[in-house]
Amino acid sequence: MSAAATGVWGRAEQQDFRARVRGALLGAAIGDALGAGVSGASLEEIRAAHGTEGVADLVPAHGRRGAITAATQLTLFTVDGLIRAQVRRDTGAWHPPTDVHRAYLRWAATQRDWGPDERRKDNGWLAREEWLYTRRDAPKASLFGLADENMGTVEVPKNPTARDPGALARSTPFGLLVGWEPQLVCQLAVECAAQTHGHPTAYLSAGAFAVIVHGLARGEPLDAAVQRALALVSARPGHQPVTDGLKHALGAVREGMPGPARVGSLGEGHHAEGALAIAVYCALVAEDIRHGLRLSVNHDGPSATTGILTGALLGALHGETALPPAWLSELEGRPTILELADDFAMEMTQGPALHGPTAASPGWLTRYPRS
């Protein structure tokens, strides 16, 4: 039984968990940056620009190497929302989807405003990070879904025809709730995806991905985590494209040497279930994180998204020390990502000491207000 399951965290368990949280969030961001410069380009176009092997290193996007997209921005705000939810847990008004939705609305404000609004005292520290106030190819469904304060639900979702992987790409943090049962992780990811992406394959892909990350963050093998996701998602209406994609990814591992053709056989990734299948396959066959990420971005389709998903899986599996240092050094926003990752790990392992009745300082509630 894990430390998370018992609620007792030893020093070694805390360090391992923090390394996996850092690995997942930084790995996702690196994958985003690696794919951002070629996202949407065909494999033929990628090879024409970068050689027959395709993209092998960071290439400029949005005016610099190592730039992240809106998917990483939204991932960070997902973390912020989940920390706020944990902070509010003892207030009697605990509803994590609402806290995550409020965080997404704070992100939506960054896409409209020129910079932080100091008058908003409940924003916490993340929404005051000026580098996040850049527009980086946000999915239309995300922008439309967060254009007002009405929260979409599975019963009444926003954008019910949206099948793109925009919600999936921001769902890594749900899997890092290692103290939660897998079915609850799946449900929360599904509910929060439906706030902007209402098609069943979009929100079920997010739920399946969160369950896979959850298993890896708890130290499970990747294939076992995928099998658990299959078991949980297969009981839900509309699951067939998602479960078929995951099974196809598992089967492709045994079909020969990995390469762009094998990745292409899983779909182009324009729909959430295809992006999920590509990421799972690339993580399963990866020799290391660098190899897995290169494989995940050299294909027709949304390379940034498949890079994010693959990076999150491999980062959660191997921890931060396995990430390529050269890519980390150029990653946009790395200090912020590290700070947020460490705050998340502290909240999950030491929450009551930070904001409970015996907390020594109100500083945590300034960073993550309960309001």
Instruction: Take residue 27 and report the two structure tokens written for it.
Output: 């790995």
How far apart CA 32 and CA 331 sit, in angstroms, is 10
SS3 of residue 157 by DSSP: coil
Q: How far is CA 334 from CA 26, 33, 63, in A?
A: 8, 11, 17
- pTM here is 0.95
Residues 6+ apart with CB under 8 A from 137: 39, 69, 70, 304
Q: Where are the beta strands (DSSP E) in 67-225?
A: none
What DSSP assignment string belongs to 304-357?
HHHHHHHHHHHHHHH-GGGS-HHHHHH-TTHHHHHHHHHHHHHHHHHHHHHHST
How far apart CA 39 and CA 340 sit, in angstroms, is 26
How far apart CA 329 and CA 207 sit, in angstroms, is 31
How far apart CA 26 and CA 32 sit, in angstroms, is 10
Q: Output the furthest CA–CA distance in the chain (Å, rounded).
A: 61
How far apart CA 242 and CA 231 sit, in angstroms, is 12
Q: Within the chain, which residues score under 70 in pLDDT? A: 1-8, 119, 121, 360-361
- What local confidence, expressed as pLDDT, does residue 1 receive? 39
Instruction: Take residue 88 and report the two structure tokens written for it.
Output: 């509010």
- What local confidence, expressed as pLDDT, does residue 361 receive? 65
Task: Return the C-alpha torsion angle 169, 35, 27, 369, nearest 10.
Answer: -50
85 within 8 A of 107, measured Cβ to Cβ = no
- What local confidence, expressed as pLDDT, does residue 253 receive? 95
- What local confidence, expressed as pLDDT, does residue 4 receive? 61
Interval 59-84: pLDDT, tens: 999 999 999 999 999 999 999 999 99
167 within 8 A of 203, measured Cβ to Cβ = yes
What sign does the CA torsion over 281, 283, 288, 292 have? positive
SS3 of residue 121 by DSSP: helix
Q: What is the DSSP letter of 159?
A: S
Residues 6+ apart with CB under 8 A from 136: 62, 67, 68, 69, 70, 73
- What local confidence, expressed as pLDDT, does residue 353 receive? 84
For the chain, the structural domain boundaries read: 10-353
CA angle 99, 102, 106 (to 5 degrees): 140
Q: What is the DSSP letter of 228?
A: H
How far apart CA 195 and CA 266 sit, in angstroms, is 27
Query: What is the separation of C-alpha 231 from the centre of its chain, rounded to a whole number of angstroms?
Result: 21
Interval 287-317: pLDDT, tens: 999 999 999 999 998 999 999 999 999 999 9
Fold of 10-353: ADP-ribosylglycohydrolase fold (1.10.4080)
Residues 6+ apart with CB under 8 A from 92: none
